[in-house]
A and B are shown apart, each in its own frame.
Chain A
Amino acid sequence: MTDTTPPTGTGPLARREARLAWGLLFPTLAAVSLVVILPLLAVFWISFKPVGLADLRPPTPIVREDIRGDLEAAGDEATLRYRLRNSSQDQPILGVTLSDTWPEGLAAGELDPACAIADGRLDCDFGDWEGGQRITLQIPVTADASYFEGPDPTDSAPVITGQASNVLTNFDFTHENFAHVFDGAEFWSVLGVTLFYTIFGTLGALIMGLFAALLLNKSFRGQGLLRGLYLFPYVAPVIAVAFAWILLFDPFSGSANALLIRMGVSSEAINFFGERPLALIMVTLFEIWRYFPLSFLFILARMQSIDTDMYEAADMDGASPFQKFRYLSLPQLLGILSVLFLLRFIWTFNKFDDIFLLTGGNAGTRVLTVNVYEQAFALSNIGAGAAVAVVIFCCLLLFSVFFFRVMSREEGL
């Protein structure tokens, strides 16, 4: 009797395949974890720390060495001077030591009690320094003949060491960043602006994309050209088109204002990017303008893969064009539309460059991502910036749970 049950478990071939797979994936995994996972953890860490922009450089002792007086012949006297200071004005440095090569042929006069010269080296131990401490070490020296054959005393760089507590790596935690972020009405207004921008930007781009796709879903001469043209806003560098919009809608020399005034639509210049709530509407329009090509492309690709038989059958049954769109095309497109909506929703939520370039977050257009920059760099409070980033990341996690539910239903994409 031979055993007819198939083998169970993983055989050597399967194991070899899995090993190869991990081998091929390793570079990507390493790079991604280094630049995505690690920074994400860092953001969480920093968001609980009282860090300002200035704290990024930990306090270090600094030394400058020079010789005062001329040493030209044997027996000349001069002063060897070390100027030391703490780079930080408020942080202490512990256990500061200085060491330097002692030049040959130089006789030291009175020496600071913290220092000693032995075996051709100068060693000093200054103990702990307060923030902002400065010390000037003056050593009177007398030269003899052998001095002039050796190298210049300032050639050897003095070595200074000391331990400072770095706020990024110590274990001081605070919840102030989050308190600061959620404090007051500002956070809720930022969240409201973000939601407005995201929802209307996404819906607008989707609807415009659908309209454009309907226009181009037939073959005619120049269709390829138009399709290329309609992708321009998406392909051009954001900085170029953002500045073009700013110029176009400038209140003083903008063509749009001149046009509106000449046409009699408006009696005075409108500050499109400087007024509430117009600025928010404008950045949302910019978002729609810039990303409708993307939805258009995807919807068009889906439309062209719909079976034409269905439309022929509908024609035989006497369906009108609007009926065909409503009862045939739309249900077919629903899948791609919902996937696009969710993806675009997440990416619009994450968008930073556009608003940053158009308004800098002023005039009621500050969204969460711009708030990260504003807190971290404009207000020099890195901790608060990181706290906002954590809030963004949590929203993102929430969205993606939802997204993957829909994705697995729609599969594809």
Chain B
Amino acid sequence: MRRGYVTAPVLGALWCFVIAVTVAVAMSFATGAAFRPAILLSLLLGAGLGVAALHGAMALWGAAVVMAALGLAGFGPMVADDGAGLVALVAGHGAVALFTALGARTILEEIRPGALTRHEFEEAVIRFLTGFGYIFFTAIVLIPFYVMVMTSLKNQAALMANPLDFSIDLSQGWGLFSSYVELMRDYSFGSYLWTSFYVSVLTVLITLAFAIPGAYAVARLRFRGQALFSRSILLIYMVPMIVLALPIYIAFSMTGLRNTIFGIVLIYPVTTIPVALYMLQGYFRGLPAEVEEAGLMDGLSRLAVIWKITLPLSLPALASVSLYVFMIAWNEFLLAFMLLDDPSKYTLTRGIASLNSSEVPRQHLMAGSVIATVPIMVLFLGLERFMTKGLTAGSVKG
């Protein structure tokens, strides 16, 4: 394996295959016509391109042009059915050749025809795996969201006719968003959005009100049972919701709290308090105790120390925890599904669940999903720094 004239064609072949599959899927999704990778041809041509890459840039680009030409002639790494237009064909085969060549150039940068050192060989393999990894992860993450958004913009008949065709008809103008308009108008998604929002905000506020003092006590104050306590927080955090949901359902049915927003606001914070407490106590432990002691020496009481020193210092952690709790409350499905029956009191997730019937078109379901996903994504991308920190600060809850 560790000889340039073996490594180069093998990696070239694998890379060409990866690119052929990627471009075929991308082109299929973009145009609705059928593109498919030719397994044998892509391996063969990729191997050839890999060998060419050993002989300098001129040979590599020459091989790429040949590959593109062969593709247009129908013998390339990717083949298209008759349905594809000329522009799509040129773009597709051009993309295959271009990306194969670009990738091969990077991957095989240090590879020479003769024997290779272990270092050079492994570097090349790692570069191949890195390229493959980026494509793979980006594809698996993006495809479901792409399908979600595109389906919400197309009507049922068009989807059934060609499930691959995600090209959208821009001439409809605002008509594209008809399912969103319908959801807002006929299915009162506006009110669900508002319910979800204020339930989540209330959950965050209540959670913080409970978790901040608790976390401070666990992190800073000495009392018997402290170690036991910090463990039992984690343990509680592991009790599955479905186990609790059953008695909660019974209790709420008997006390008339079922089917009320009040009941939901009552129960959500309790599911998030252990998480928040756990995250916050980790952060509080990391704060220098000297600052607080200085405050104590200057005559502040403990509570004043928490309010005037600890909290301002832990604003970033509070932001992370709030975001995380907001996300949990916004995405919560099980309790909302079990406890809410009245359509006027639905949260967003419960509202989406009610769209899952054969009478409601699929595009409405997806439009509802987009409505629920977009706010949390925007919030998350805007505050990504806090979020990543918060998630790693001690919560692994899923």
Contacts and interface: CB of A to CB of B under 8 A. Distances in A.
B49 to A, nearest CB: 22
A393 B391 CA distance: 26
Interface string B220-256: 0111101001010001101111111011101101100
Interface in B356-398: 356, 362, 365-366, 368-370, 372-373, 376-377, 380-381, 384, 387-388, 391-392, 394, 396-398
A47 to B, nearest CB: 10
Contact of A247 (B123, B247, B362): B362
Nearest to B213: A24
A351 B214 CA distance: 27
A247 B152 CA distance: 11
Task: State the main secondary structure of chain B at its contact with A.
Answer: helix
Task: State the main secondary structure of chain A at its contact with B.
Answer: helix
Contact of A248 (B37, B147, B267, B370): B147
A248 B118 CA distance: 43
B301 to A, nearest CB: 9
Contact of A240 (B244, B248, B254, B369): B369
Given A46-B250, A382-B250, A20 B377 contact: no
A23 B159 CA distance: 60
Interface string B124-167: 00100010011001101111110110010000000110111010
Contacts of B118: 320
Contacts of B396: 294, 298, 340, 343-344, 347, 413
Interface in A244-283: 244-245, 247-248, 250, 252-255, 257-259, 262-264
A231 B243 CA distance: 28
A239 B353 contact: yes
Contacts of B160: 252-253
B242 A352 contact: yes
Contact of A20 (B138, B151, B302): B302
Contacts of A24: 213-214, 216-217, 221
Contact of A27 (B213, B226, B241, B373): B213
Contacts, number: 283
Interface string A224-246: 10111111111111111101110
B370 A240 contact: yes
Interface string A381-394: 01001100100110
Nearest to B391: A297
B36 A227 contact: no
A252 B384 CA distance: 38
B189 interface: no
Contacts of A21: 217-218, 221-223, 226
Contacts of B254: 56
B273 interface: yes
A212 interface: yes
A120 to B, nearest CB: 33
B162 A248 contact: no
Contacts of B216: 24
Contact of A18 (B223, B235, B381, B397): B223
A173 interface: no
Interface string A136-161: 00000000000000000000000000
Contacts of B240: 349-350, 352, 369, 392, 396
A353 B380 contact: no
Contacts of A17: 221-223
A396 B221 contact: no
B81 interface: yes
B341 interface: no
A118 interface: no
B153 to A, nearest CB: 13
Nearest to B33: A262
A211 interface: yes
Contacts of A396: 238-240
B16 interface: no
Interface stretch (B40-48, B69-77, B107-115, B325-333): B325-333
A372 interface: yes
Given A39-B248, A262-B36, A263-B24, A244 B148 contact: yes
Contacts of A290: 398
A228 B384 contact: yes
Contacts of B37: 263
A344 B398 contact: yes
Nearest to A262: B34
Interface stretch (A28-36, A64-72, A93-101, A327-335): A28-36
Q: Which 6 A-B pairs have the closest CB atoms?
A: A350-B240, A240-B369, A262-B34, A18-B223, A39-B247, A24-B213
Interface of B: 24-25, 28-29, 34-37, 81, 118-119, 122-123, 126, 130, 133-134, 137-138, 140-145, 147-148, 151, 159-160, 162-164, 166, 209-211, 213-214, 216-218, 221-224, 226, 229, 231, 235-236, 238-244, 246-248, 250-251, 253-254, 267, 269-271, 273-274, 277, 302, 327, 330-331, 333-334, 348-349, 352-353, 356, 362, 365-366, 368-370, 372-373, 376-377, 380-381, 384, 387-388, 391-392, 394, 396-398
Given A235-B387, A240-B352, A386-B247, 16 more contacts: A18-B224, A21-B223, A32-B270, A168-B250, A235-B327, A236-B377, A237-B333, A237-B348, A238-B333, A239-B331, A240-B369, A294-B396, A321-B122, A344-B396, A372-B246, A389-B243
